[in-house]
Structure 1
Amino acid sequence: MENLNLNDLKVMENKRRVRYGYMWALFCAVFWGIWYLPGTAVWCLNPFDEMSAAIAATHGESISLVVVAVLITAFNALTVVIALLLWNVVLGKHKVKELGRTIMEFKHCSKWFFLGSICGLIAVFGSYLAMGFIGAAFSAVAGLLYPVVGSTVARLWYGEKISKRALAGILIIVCGGIAIYAGGLVSEIATGEVQWFGYLGGLMAALGWGLEGAVAGKGLDLAEPDAAITIRFIGESMVWWIVVIPVLALLGFPMLHYAALIFDPFVLLVLMFAGITFGFCYVTWYKSFPLIGVGRGQGIGNLYGLFAVIFVFLFFGTSPGWAIIIGGILCVAGSFLMFTESTGDMESLRGE
């Protein structure tokens, strides 16, 4: 160790940083894939199933699925906040103090995570829409386009480097996304029953998560990931429970009535399972960004689609269509191309 010069130490530190960054991103993919299990199951449970039937009788099936997706997403955000607050308490008093300090530094720091909460809200709601209208396998794979958005915005906004290898991976992911959407649309157009809300939800997931990653990458220059992600979900919960749900209730939808029926032990268990898996998925996602960059963190996190399809098949017996399989393979291949990038290319994440 004594014979190492400064340059050798920098190389060793860079390799260590990249190794941990990829590790966090891989953990993110696993937790994210698991989240689709409770995310799928909750649609079949009361009060959500009963709520869907009641609204469909007066407003039609499409409107009922959209409104139920709002309530499910709102509870998802709330359970994630509970899980993350407990996580910060377990980590110690210094984390709780850091959370308070970050919230108070709105002008320079926490504004990015409140902005990220809007982007994430769009993504999670879109993902639940895709689950409700088309299915969990499509919802998981449709969102795989998000690294394209995140990498592009991070590059244009604050000059995050994109190597030729990473760019090639992004282009492969785009081809996968085209296969996912084109295959499903062609078959549904032929039958005359296109689930437009489901496809819109998939696009919302890709756009929202991509933008959130870029926004978070900016804010994480000034904040710890554990505090940052908690603020992001506090912001999303406030939007759902203070703005969206009261507005829908005023419009005549029974939001508060069915929200009050949530206290069934099994339903609460499923919702908390969703909150824990999604919360830790986000913790590891945010931890990867400062270490390997937004584009690469999102690229490796993209493996969640593979895990989600496997888990959904094992637990629910749902097998995806050929277009989803081909598109998913292309997206995973693009992510793997980014994963195998030389660590020397990541010595500096930002351009000069």
Structure 2
Amino acid sequence: MTNEKDLRLNRLIKKERDSRVKWGFMWGILGAILWGMGYVPAVAVWKLPDFSMTSIFPEGNGLFLALVAIAFGAGIAKASVSVLFWAGGEGKLSDVPKAIKHWKISKVMLLATLVASPVGVAGYQLAVGTVGGSFAAAASLLFGAFAALIAKALYKEKITRKAAIGITLIIIGGIFVFNPFLLIADLSKTNSLIAIIGYIGGFAAALAWGLESVFVSRVSDFYDYCMSMTCRGVFDVLLWGFVCVPIAMLAFGSNAVISAMIHIYTQPAFWVWEILYALSIYSAYVGIYRSLPLIGAGRGSSVSALYVIPGFLALYIFMGDVIKWWILAGAAIAVMGTVYMYWDSGSELSEGTRAIDDTPSLSRKTTYVEEEF
């Protein structure tokens, strides 16, 4: 009788586990598709500024004025979508102030915003605006290697043999994406500064998002995904509105910044593209965040890295972006490295993924928020 009950219990456990794995991969793949589609509106907004109007976008400063206007506008769109669409749609508007006041966790989201917004968003936008959307998409894949190395340095997470091989593959893929031969050729051109800015932007974005993923992973098990997105959206627009924009006004002049904003914001197409971008990115977050507790953070990251495939296809179909062979090859190698680094099989598939050096007890994972922050 006991054996029959045990068998029935084991079947139920296996059924529940298989269901979690199936839905985890479904959510992760959906998130990757939506994330890749988000590159279309991200590229489209950079078609709107008329850089030939030197009175608004003077040579030398025009690129940065457009960056400030586009990034701040994107922050407004993302905050509006996260608060009104997600929190409002789920009936959680009253929870937004509570989530922000929950300082032990919201400060981690604020720290992630401080890293990801001025560095990650600015670098990403510069890479898109100067080198191209396909380069920005492929360069962002480096975040997995940065995340593993940063986690090792900050939280003593082990870099296993598999992780080391995966990081090596990602770095090799990054070398292909950045193409040192083309980079040297670009540096020899008279307008090489624009290319340099784009390459640095892509590298900085990957580094910032790797650091952000390490911070956010500390609270992903404790924080509702809707509130995570809402806090990030609110912090993002506040940071750009009260820190980045004023700094830009001091650097370039308030009239120059305001003129660039008026030029871009008065075009209805800008807000259409930015809202589509925010919807695609936050919808992707939903899929990715929901996949993490089901298949683990590592496998969720490896599945989400597949965003580059729909991203390349969407850019080619809708924007006519011809993907260079070295970017395609580098992205493929980086995706393989990310998948190999995190992938496990068999009974380990739905288990946790963190490996900590000298972990004193199993309770350590549940005390990160208390101890580390």
Q: Give the TM-score, by structure 2 length.
A: 0.82
3-state SS of paired residue (2:221): coil
Q: CA, structure 1 residues 295+255, in 2 after alignment: closer, same or farther (shift >3 Å)?
A: farther
How far did 1:113 drift?
Answer: 0.6
Equivalence map 1:1-352=2 (5 Å): 2-4=5-7, 12-45=15-48, 48-49=49-50, 53-57=54-58, 60-61=59-60, 63-85=61-83, 86-92=85-91, 95-106=92-103, 108-121=104-117, 122-158=119-155, 164-181=161-178, 182-189=180-187, 191=189, 194=192, 195-251=195-251, 252-253=253-254, 254-261=256-263, 262-337=265-340, 341-342=344-345, 344-346=347-349, 347-351=351-355, 352=359
Contact 2:148 2:159 in 1 (8 A): yes
User: CA offset at residue 191 of structure 1?
Assistant: 4.7
Instruction: Give, in whole Å, the separation in 2 of the partners of 1:84 and 1:150.
Output: 25
Q: Distance in 2 between matches of 1:302 and 1:239?
A: 28
Separation in 2 of the partners of 1:293 and 1:161?
16
The whole-number CA distance in structure 1 between the counterparts of 2:237 and 2:43 is 20
On the 8 A contact 2:297/2:353 being kept in 1, the answer is no
Q: 1:98 to 1:155 in 2, by over 3 A?
A: farther
1:183, 1:275 → 2: CA distance?
Answer: 35
> Gapped runs of 5+ residues in structure 1?
none
Greater Cα offset, 129-138 or 265-274: 265-274
Distance 1:21 1:170 in 2: 24
Whether contact under 8 Å (1:289, 1:297) holds in the other structure is yes
Q: Separation in 2 of the partners of 1:51 and 1:119?
A: 33
Q: Is the 8 A contact 1:296 1:338 kept in 2?
A: no
* Partner amino acid, structure 1, of 2:216: A
Identity of aligned residues (%): 29
1:290–1:101 distance in 2 versus 1, CA, 3 Å: farther
Q: Deviation at 1:43?
A: 1.2
Q: One-letter code of the match for 1:257?
A: S
The range that moved more, 322-331 or 295-304, is 295-304
Deviations 1:129-150 (A, max 9, x none): 0011111111111111011122
- Return the alpha-carbon distance in structure 2 between the equivalents of residues 231 and 102 of structure 1: 7
- Are residues 201 and 114 of structure 1, via their aligned partners in 2, closer, same or farther at CA, if it must alter by over 3 Å? same
Tell me the TM-score normalized by structure 1. 0.86
Shift of residue 350, structure 1, vs aligned partner:
3.1
Cα gap change, 1:237 to 1:30, in 2 (>3 Å): same
In structure 2, do the counterparts of structure 1 residues 51 and 199 end up closer, same or farther at CA, with 3 Å as the change threshold? same
Task: Report SS of the residue matched to 1:96.
Answer: coil
2: CA distance, partners of 1:320 / 1:306: 11
**Cα distance, 1:170–1:7 mapped onto 2, change above 3 Å:** farther
- The change in CA–CA distance for 1:99 and 1:34 in structure 2 (over 3 A counts) is same
**Residue 49 of structure 1 aligns to a residue in which SS?**
coil
Aligned residue for 1:216, secondary structure, equals: helix
Structure 1 vs Structure 2 CA RMSD: 2.7
| Cα offset, 1:180, TM superposition | 1.1
Q: How many residues align?
A: 344
Unaligned runs of 5+ in 2: 360-373
Q: d(CA) in 1 for partners of 2:62 and 2:278?
A: 23
Measured after TM superposition, the shift of residue 196 of structure 1 is 0.9
* Cα deviation code 1:293-344 (max 9, x no counterpart): 4443332222222222211111122212222121012122224435753153
| Residues 148 and 22 of structure 1: CA distance in aligned 2, closer, same or farther (over 3 Å) | farther
- Residue pair 1:114, 1:235 contacting (<8 A) in 2 also: yes
**Structure of larger gyration radius:** 2
Contact 2:177 2:326 in 1 (8 A): yes
CA separation of 1:54/1:320 partners in 2, compared to 1, >3 Å: closer, same or farther?
farther
